[in-house]
Structure formats: C-alpha cells, structure tokens
Amino acid sequence: MRHYNIPVFIPELACPFRCVYCNQYNISGTCKAPEPKEVNGIIEKHLQTIDYMNNDVEIAFFGGSFTALPQEQQNVYLEIAKPWIDSRKIKGIRISTRPDYIDEEILQNLKNNHVTAIELGAQSLNDKVLSLAGRGHNAAQIERAAIMIRNMGFETGLQMMTGLPGDTEKSTMETAHRIIELGAQTTRIYPTLVIEDTDLAELYQQGKYKPQSLEKAADLCAWLYLLFQTAGVKVLRMGLHPSENFYEGGSLIAGPFHPAFGEIAMTRVWNYRLKDIIPERAEKLIVSAHPTQINAVIGHRKTNKEWLLDKFRYVEFKAEPGLKKEQIHVDFY
Ligand code: SF4
C-alpha cells in the first residue's frame, strides 16, 4: 500500500508574515488560492490516476498557513473533502501551518473535520536563527504547538530548514534532535534557497548571506535523514518541489537547488550505509537491497556504483525482496 497526497496549494493568502526566504507566489507558481469549487476538480483529476481502493490517499492543503485563515474559510475547504472521505476514496486531510496559529479551539475544529495530520513549519528550534529568518515566532511556541498537536492524536510533522542565516551544522543537528524529542512522526527538510523579491535575496546581493553549496546541503540532509530514520521519524521530502516556472530558474537567484536534490541526498545516505559494511579488501562484491531501493543504492548518476568500482574489481547489485527498505546486505569474495 502506498501513500498519495492530493496537493491543494493555498499560497500566502492568509499569511501576514514575510519570512526572509519566502516569496510564496514564486514557490507555488500560482498567485491565488483555488476557489473552493476548483478543489473538487483537483481531487477528481488526481483520483483518475490513483488506485484509491488499494492505497492511502489524503488531501493536502499545503503552501501557506492553513489555520491562519478565518475558521469559516478553513471549514469551506475542509467540507469539500467530506463527501470524498465518506465515500472512502480519501482517507483524511493533511494541512501545513505555522506554530503560532495553533490552539485548542483550532485543533478541535480540525479534528471535527477529518484532519489527520498537521505539519508545522518549524524551520529551526534555535531562537536566534528564527529571529534572523523573520519567522515571527520563537522555539517555545513551536514546542507548545507540537505537544498540543501530538496530544490530540494528530500525526505530527515538524518541517525544518538547513542553511538559514545564522544557522550552523551544530544548531541544525540540535534542531533535528529537538524535533525527535518532541515526538514528531514526520519531517521535511528544505535547504534554504535565495529567491527573487525576498529579504534574503537582498542580503545575498549585499554579501551578507552565503548560501550552502549543493554538496554541503546534500551531505547535511543525508546526516539528518540517518538521524531521523534511526529515531523512527519519517522523512517525507528533502529539497523543494519546484513549480514549472521555478524549475526554469525564473525566480531562483542562488542556493543548493537541484531538480534531483532528494535523489542526490539519498545517494549519500546509501553511501554512508555502504561505508559501514563494505570490507577493506575483496575481489568481488555483491550488494543487495530491496527492489524499490536498488537504484537509489546505485546512486544518482551511478555515483555509488562508480565509487565501489574504484575499490573493487567486480561489483554486482541485486534486488532482494526479502530485505527491508532501509536494509542493505553485502556479500564479498
Ligand atoms: S509563514 Fe510561511 S507563507 Fe508566511 S512568509 Fe513565512 S514561509 Fe512564507
């Protein structure tokens, strides 16, 4: 059984803030929230291509701060989902929002309207980094919101960023540890990008902000992934999902963007796992992994395969359905 999200983007519509890195219009590729009647069309279109009988499907209201909308407007969107949930084509609703737009009344309303998962844009749990990012909330507010969400039985997601102004590898790892301690079940990791018409773009042009290199960002994400995986926190995404316009580079100024960023980071994850188990010397190596993971093990542009071929005369990759998705096995002769 696979999980599918039907994404409905609600851009900055409800957001009175302007985080230094954010230009929601450019990120989502659309400047207006869909009319409620359009949402049904989006759902229908997606369901035509998903085997909803045998998979988990959720509607995901992403992009802005859902709970910052007036409650009546939230409910208009949430009620659109109801008939789909009643007919069992959709399992539930996910929303993303800000930590300072969470209280008991808001959560109870979401609970009453079939919301199953809440993802908070935490971004960092370091107050200095949050303040430099212009987030408009502090770490204590994230912690309070995350605990409330978890205690009310929602799937709790805490999204984080890397490479924010003032952030270091140490403070990034501390954020990840705190996300784990707060009991998050999921996370998304977004390296900071410099996008046109943002305060960060200005800082970058004035030489006051230096973005992460693609190398560094992918490497840090790989370490974070391994940390989260060990703690049982599911990493739903690494890297920004670009809109068409953004993909063409129209609004990206600088930063560790790559259309296959997640793949590059996963190549490193598998590289670290391989490093742990390959022998120092051998003639022949047979690397086995779950069939869905074998290409990721070989790596983006076959980098892991080539790395192994530099060390061993013969390397073979074998899909092994008996292994778990995160497992890898090496035979050598
Ligand atoms: S809270 Fe979200 S939508 Fe609002 S400015 Fe910050 S990143 Fe953008």
Residue 241 confidence (pLDDT): 57
The CATH number covering residue 118 comes to 3.20.20.70
- Same structural domain for residues 91 and 188? yes
Residue 15 confidence (pLDDT): 60
Residue at 255 is within a domain: yes
**Residue after which a domain boundary falls, among 210, 230, 259:** 259
What is the position in ligand 1's atom list of the atom closest to the CA of 63? Answer: 3
Give me 319's structure tokens.
């899909």
Q: Whose CA is nearest to atom 1 of ligand 1?
A: 17
- Same structural domain for residues 220 and 313? no
Query: Under 8 Å CB-to-CB from 163, ≥6 apart: which residues?
Result: 191, 192, 211, 212, 216, 217, 255, 256
Q: If you ran DSSP here, which 8-state letter would residue 148 be given? A: H
Residue at 272 is within a domain: no
Residue at 269 is within a domain: no
- Backbone angle region of 277, left / alpha / beta, with phi > 0 → left and psi within -120 to 50 → alpha: alpha
The count of structural domains within the chain is 2
Q: How far is the CA of 41 from the centre of ligand 1 (A)?
A: 26
Residue at 264 is within a domain: no
Closest CA to 270 of 241, 284, 285, 290: 290
- Same structural domain for residues 79 and 111? yes
Closest CA to 211 of 277, 257, 148: 257
- Same structural domain for residues 139 and 242? yes
Cβ atoms 66, 97 nearer than 8 A? yes
Q: How far is the CA of 194 from the centre of ligand 1 (A)?
A: 14
Residue at 268 is within a domain: no
- Same structural domain for residues 191 and 65? yes
pLDDT, tens digit only, all 333 positions of the chain: 888 999 998 765 546 787 999 876 544 445 577 888 899 999 999 999 988 888 899 999 987 789 988 899 899 999 999 999 999 999 999 999 999 999 999 999 999 999 999 999 999 999 999 999 999 999 999 999 999 999 999 999 999 999 999 999 999 999 999 999 999 999 999 999 998 889 999 999 999 999 999 999 999 999 999 999 999 999 999 997 544 445 445 588 999 999 999 999 999 999 999 999 999 999 999 999 999 999 999 999 999 999 999 999 999 999 999 999 999 999 999
Closest CA to 42 of 80, 95, 72: 80
Residue at 214 is within a domain: yes
* CB distance 12 to ligand 1 below 6 Å: yes
- Same structural domain for residues 218 and 328? no
Residue 250 confidence (pLDDT): 55
Q: Whose CA is nearest to atom 2 of ligand 1?
A: 64
- Same structural domain for residues 253 and 291? no
Domain limits for position 122: 3-259
**Residue after which a domain boundary falls, among 259, 290, 324:** 259
Residue 243 confidence (pLDDT): 44
